[in-house]
Amino acid sequence: MEILDPSLQTYVETHTDPEPEALKKINRNTHLKVLKPNMLSGHYQGRLLSMLSKMMQPKLIIEIGTYTGYSAICLAEGLVDGGVLHTIEVNEEMEELINSHLKLTNVDKKIHAHFGPAERVIADSNWQNIDIVFIDADKKNNFTYFELLIDKVKSGGLLIIDNVLWKGKVYDEHQNDADTQAFRKLNEQIAVDTRVEKLILPVRDGLLLIRKK
C-alpha cells in the first residue's frame, strides 16, 4: 500500500515524531489478531492525521471506518477540551477489540464508537458544524459518505478520504477493476466540485484532503 519508495518511506518515518507507545501496542496487536492488518493507518500516516487535527483544533470529528481504532486515536489527539470524535464501524464483532485499544490511551473518553451501517448512523445523528471528517471504509461508498456529510461540515472544515491512489492503480491505464474505477470517479467528482478546495497527498495509499469553502 506504500506509494513512496521504501527507502524514502523509511527516511521520512525516521525523521517524524515516534509512534506513541500505546499506538505501537495497537499496531502490533492488530497484526497479531486481525485479517488484513495493512489496513491500519500506521506510524507515518497516523502522525500526519494527528498533526492535521492539532492544527485544526477541532471540537467535532466524524470518522467512517474505525477498524481497530488507530486512526481515531490519532485524530482525537488534536481535540480541544470538551471535543468529541464519533467513529463508525460496520463490523460489530470488532467492538471488544476497539474498546480494549481505546482504553490504552488518554483520549478514550473523547471517542464515541458507533456500530452499524454508516448511512444509518449518520441519518440518526444530529451532527452539525463538523470540523474534520475522515473516510476510510467501504470504497464504493466514499462519494456517498462525502455527500451525506459535506453540508454538516463547517466552512473551513476538513474532509479526508483514504486510499485514493489505490495502490497506484488509478493512474495506470491498464488497471480497470471495479474498485480502481470507483476511485477514479471519486477523484474526478471531487476535482470539479466548486464547494471545496482539494489536494491529493501521496502518503501510503493516497490521502485526499478536502477543505470546505
Q: What is the pLDDT of residues 6-30, one digit of tens each?
A: 899 899 999 999 999 999 999 999 9
Contact 113, 98 (CB under 8 A): yes
- The pTM of this model reads 0.95
**Domain spans of the chain?**
6-212
Q: Locate cell 519508495: which residue?
A: 5
- Strand order across the beta sheet in which 207-212 lies: 111-115, 84-89, 60-64, 130-135, 153-162, 207-212, 196-201
Q: Which fold has domain 6-212?
A: Rossmann fold (3.40.50)
- Note the pLDDT tens digit of each residue in 75-121: 999 999 999 999 999 999 999 999 999 999 999 999 999 999 999 99
